[in-house]
Amino acid sequence: MSVSPSGSAASKGSLEGSNAQRGLWSSRLAFILAATGSAVGLGNIWKFPYVTGENGGGAFVLVYLLCIAIIGIPIMMAEVMIGRRGGRSPVNSIKAIARRDGLNPAWKLVGAVGILAGFLILSFYSVIGGWAISYVGTTASGQLSGQTADAVGAIFSGLLSSPGTLLLWHTVFMALVMLVVAKGVRSGLERAVSILMPALFVLLLIVVGYAMTTGHFGQAAAFLFQPDFSQLTTSGILVALGHAFFTLSLGMAVMMAYGSYLPKNISIAKTSVTVSVIDTGVALLAGLAIFPIVFANGLEPGAGPGLIFQTLPLAFGQMPMGSLFGTLFFVLLIFAAWTSGISLLEPIVEWLEEQKGMNRTVSTLGAGGVCWALGITSILSLNLWADFAPLGFIPMLEGKTIFDLLDFFTANILLPLGGLLVAVMAGWVMSKQAMEKELALSPGMFNLWFVTVRFITPIAVGVVFIYNLA
């Protein structure tokens, strides 16, 4: 995957050049920016609050944090390591490692799972990206100022009940993603990430500041951080696990692709921890911004995917300079979603280029076009097909629309499965010596990581799967 074709070539070159120090720093930063751009997105600001609300708060958050720490970070390290050792696009990296370490080439299936997952995720991700675009206009027009929760809810329902409007914004979002992928230019975006991500962080802090004035901040903090295990279900644990993969962009070979650009002497562990901490920080801030507003207005924490669109507009309608902050906030949210969307489409486009010999523009138009068309099923799930649950005869999938199914199948099944394959590959089949060299950890830390990917991750993912299927 061409994360930053020109930038990475330059930084790889500079390792051998005289200005090695500067080259190293900018490469580590470039990797962190690309990886953070992929990781921080709708998953943090849209999905984390609503799945937390649906799954009862604190206990769910605790399981999610545990999944990040003991499954997410080790898997991210494994993906980055495989990418760097292979030095190519995911499928070819795995092939190269397979040749060198004598593995079965069928391991390239990991790349295939990733391509499929990215394609399916982008189809509905783009629809939600479209909601964010539509809210730029809603906030900028000032129609939110001083509104009640009911009025804000009605604006949101109005959006959902209009397939035409949803289609328009879905198309705009998809076009934005396709534009960047078709051009194959990432360097400008990475520079933008370094400004816009901190800006998003600051705006979230401003909303948290407002949320503190609602008088319900303590209740929200307790909801998020005081685990009540009676609220935790087995399906909640699956959602927490799936969300850990989704939010860190794992199980999809994205980090593998990005890792192939990481210079050899940069610590994979430190960089992975940095990206994971930033990602988790953004999600927790989003939770602290949204739940005080939920409680102060007597809203339902389990309101579902519309949660942030029913709460944040209330805050922007009430705080000083709310229209300005609100507009800025949604613009930054679009940007965060955009950089993630690019990393969802890139793997399939690259695969079409490499394996099918198609040129970049044609493969982007083809893959993006099919993805866009699939997105229409998610749009219809919000209105005309809202009662259509194609797999409703399976108890676990009862009442799930196509949109719900796509989300469920990708985040909770495909990504953990992709992660499981990565863990098994690193823990059981790759050359241990080569991995020791690649990770360059102290023996104690290496063993901790090794035991985790060899035993803990596969067992944890396996147990959660089996419990949920049973």
Residues that bind ligand PHE (CB under 6 A): 38-39, 41-44, 121, 246-247, 249, 252, 254, 340, 343-344
Q: E strand or H helix at 288, and its extent?
A: helix 268-296
Name which of 119 and 217 has its Cβ closer to ligand PHE: 119
Nearest distance from C-beta of residue 255 to ligand PHE, angstroms = 9
Name which of 76 and 121 has its Cβ closer to ligand PHE: 121
Packing angle of the helix pair 109-140, 90-101 (nearest 10 deg): 150
Name which of 210 and 246 has its Cβ closer to ligand PHE: 246
Nearest distance from C-beta of residue 64 to ligand PHE, angstroms = 12
Question: Cα separation of 271 and 32, whole Å?
Answer: 7
The tokens describing 68, both together, are: 């990040």
Name which of 144 and 308 has its Cβ closer to ligand PHE: 308
Name which of 149 and 307 has its Cβ closer to ligand PHE: 307
DSSP 382-414: TTTTTT--TTTTSGGGTT--HHHHHHIIIIIII
Q: Within 10 A of 434 (CB to CB), how many other CB atoms are there?
A: 14
Nearest distance from C-beta of residue 181 to ligand PHE, angstroms = 13
The tokens describing 202, both together, are: 């600051």
Name which of 247 and 318 has its Cβ closer to ligand PHE: 247
Cα distances from 117 to residues 58, 61, 113, 194, 463, in angstroms, run 29, 24, 6, 27, 22
Residue 84 sits at the vertex; the CA angle it makes with 83 and 85, to the nearest 5 degrees, is 95
Close Cβ partners of 442 (under 8 Å, ≥ 6 residues apart): none
Q: Which residue's CB comes closest to ligand PHE? A: 43
Nearest distance from C-beta of residue 3 to ligand PHE, angstroms = 13
DSSP 302-360: T--TTHHHHHHHHHHHHSTTHHHHHHHHHHHHHHHHHHHHHHHHHHHHHHHHHHH---H
Nearest distance from C-beta of residue 191 to ligand PHE, angstroms = 20
Nearest distance from C-beta of residue 447 to ligand PHE, angstroms = 29
Question: Cα separation of 435 and 7, whole Å?
Answer: 26
Question: Cα separation of 6 and 464, whole Å?
Answer: 42
Name which of 136 and 248 has its Cβ closer to ligand PHE: 248
Name which of 38 and 401 has its Cβ closer to ligand PHE: 38
- Tell me, what DSSP letter sits at residue 131? H
Nearest distance from C-beta of residue 324 to ligand PHE, angstroms = 25
Nearest distance from C-beta of residue 254 to ligand PHE, angstroms = 5
